[in-house]
Structure 1
């Protein structure tokens, strides 16, 4: 679904919509840092480090930092010191790298990290071009706040570059990437990202809010589809009917039909709730109602509450719930067990 939306935006078959940068500091030799090794960031950093090591240039290892050091150590142990270095703090990443990539859980974490970046660089201003690449799903207005921070530092530019895809897609370096911001910076970053972490870049122009807005629109389509699927599957379960996965949404249909709600290999429900909240805020700001997203948000909250309750009781099947668990909201509303299809698969209609 996201790919169709992006293809309509930019029908070009080229993986990168820019000519190669002519800068003497070639992208492959650039010092790159990565902050945030969560479900998506870990695979993005892993693939980026492997790709850079495979190039003929003498590339420095990828400098990484994560709030919980275990993830950084795991990546270092997996790839080795020739590909990965661990930073002591975010300030080190900002001070030592030419390109700094962030992939973080929420807006508060993003702003906090960028404040640390700029605090360090104001103390020791860079003398060369520096690019900050924000790849998280953020509310669009935050891009302006980040730009105010970054632009206060000499030679520094921000681009917003959210990605489309699940952790499984990130692991295969098949993400779809959208970019907005400074043109020269986008050119340099695009050739760092493709094919290292993604397969195609889409340019949304110079307005930094465009890429985050586009990401929320794309996610609203996915979330709206999840809500429709959840309602349809719940109706089928109540009616005692076994239905086949819907074409075009087979992966999520399969998860709902068989309770495959493992968020550690999918999209964690906390991220879904955060994105739903952003989408609802955006619809309010532009006076464009999306009632399906309002309902989906409520059902995501119900699903998370049920899952947290089961974790406290020691009965949770998965440590992290996938956002396809949204079906728990519709099931509960229909009087069914929210997270266990086996407890209501024999329902039959009364004559």
Structure 2
């Protein structure tokens, strides 16, 4: 049996640390070097110091040609449809007969994942929905929570790569790939709702004279949940520079997916908290631009409550100059 060949597509804030950890897994298991493609080749320079043996493809098709399993982390549904469209066209033509497994870690609409799975099957490939939870530091430490759906036998084959290379926990949502991407949206709903609630709480505290550092310290002891407290740290300081987590554009994209999810799957549900958070992200983007973490929605909440949108000395939420 030939050694497993792994490819990766998408070197964003999460894709880069995940790909670095996959190269470590590959080296420790004496597998062929990984092949990578990113829309912007400039990102290759960030990976090269960690994985000098990695191959850098000139096209999506080249990754498919030289891989048995292709991991992907793409920014939105449009990017996913474009990349997978190229992959499926290759498998329908020149690459016909190749049984490639796609492990898609992107945060997509559930209906998009379902459509991609059907198209993959039509060209003899398999699509697994495999979104992850955690910020970049957790990705760097291979401590992501992995949500997983697709054919059971294929999932078992891929699971040995995912753990320990990508994460340390798996939630298996069954064979319907739409379920994993739906669960990703629901999980992000909890995060976004938490950010909205935090923003309101900090605005109240500022209005009545509670030191934000004191409130943040209280939350650290009251709710010892690092993924949630990371946002409390940002809001307490009033610094929302993009790059360490989820961008405001990414948050707005995910909010739109959340709001459409029920209708997409046949049961519309009212989500007033998410609607409010979406409105606040839109306003915060107007205030501070798109180079902000999605927790910058706190700026809009502050403004709506008669406070300056950004805390004094924070350079409009971007941190000290």
TM-score for the superposition, normalised by structure 1: 0.82
What SS does the corresponding residue of 2:42 show, helix, strand or coil?
A: helix
Distance 1:151 1:129 in 2: 10
Provide, for residues 200-257 of structure 1, a one-character-per-residue CA deviation record: whole Å limited to 9, x for no partner: 1221111110000001111101111110110110111122222412233432112101
Distance 1:117 1:278 in 2: 24
| Structure 2 equivalent of residue 185 of structure 1 | 154
Distance 1:284 1:210 in 2: 14
Q: Is the 8 Å Cα contact of residues 76 and 106 (structure 2) preserved in structure 1?
A: yes
> Cα 1:269–1:115, aligned 2, differ >3 Å: closer, same or farther?
same
**1:169-180 alignment runs, 5 A limit:** 169-180=138-149
CA drift of 1:129 comes to 3.0
Distance 1:284 1:178 in 2: 22
CA drift of 1:335 comes to 2.2
Which of 284, 287, 295 does residue 303 from structure 1 map onto? 284
Structure of larger gyration radius: 1
User: Is the counterpart of residue 92 in structure 1 residue 62 in structure 2?
Assistant: yes
| Structure 2 equivalent of residue 207 of structure 1 | 176
Distance 2:230 2:58 in 1: 39
Q: Is the 8 Å Cα contact of residues 114 and 178 (structure 2) preserved in structure 1?
A: yes
Which of 210, 221, 225 does residue 241 from structure 1 map onto? 210
Which of 9, 31, 48 does residue 76 from structure 1 map onto? 48
CA drift of 1:37 comes to 0.3
**1:19-98 alignment runs, 5 A limit:** 29-55=3-29, 58-81=30-53, 84-98=54-68
Q: Is the 8 Å Cα contact of residues 252 and 278 (structure 2) preserved in structure 1?
A: yes
What SS does the corresponding residue of 1:218 show, helix, strand or coil?
A: helix
User: Is the counterpart of residue 293 in structure 1 residue 264 in structure 2?
Assistant: no
Which of 268, 272, 284 does residue 251 from structure 2 map onto? 272
Distance 2:84 2:120 in 1: 8
Distance 1:125 1:92 in 2: 10
Distance 2:120 2:187 in 1: 27
**1:97-116 alignment runs, 5 A limit:** 97-116=67-86
> Cα 1:284–1:152, aligned 2, differ >3 Å: closer, same or farther?
closer
| Structure 2 equivalent of residue 9 of structure 1 | none
Distance 1:205 1:341 in 2: 49
Q: Which has the higher helix share?
A: 2
Q: Is the 8 Å Cα contact of residues 90 and 96 (structure 2) preserved in structure 1?
A: no
Distance 1:332 1:260 in 2: 15
The unaligned stretches of length 5 or more in structure 1 are 1-23, 309-318, 344-351
What SS does the corresponding residue of 1:244 show, helix, strand or coil?
A: helix
Q: Is the 8 Å Cα contact of residues 114 and 149 (structure 1) preserved in structure 2?
A: no
Q: Is the 8 Å Cα contact of residues 69 and 103 (structure 2) preserved in structure 1?
A: yes
Provide, for residues 248-286 of structure 1, a one-character-per-residue CA deviation record: whole Å limited to 9, x for no partner: 343211210112312211221111111111111124552
CA drift of 1:119 comes to 1.0
Provide, for residues 31-90 of structure 1, a one-character-per-residue CA deviation record: whole Å limited to 9, x for no partner: 1100000000001001110121022xx311111000000112321233212xx1101110
User: Is the counterpart of residue 161 in structure 1 residue 168 in structure 2?
Assistant: no
What SS does the corresponding residue of 1:158 show, helix, strand or coil?
A: strand
Which of 284, 307, 310 does residue 336 from structure 1 map onto? 307
Q: Is the 8 Å Cα contact of residues 273 and 300 (structure 1) preserved in structure 2?
A: yes
TM-score for the superposition, normalised by structure 2: 0.90
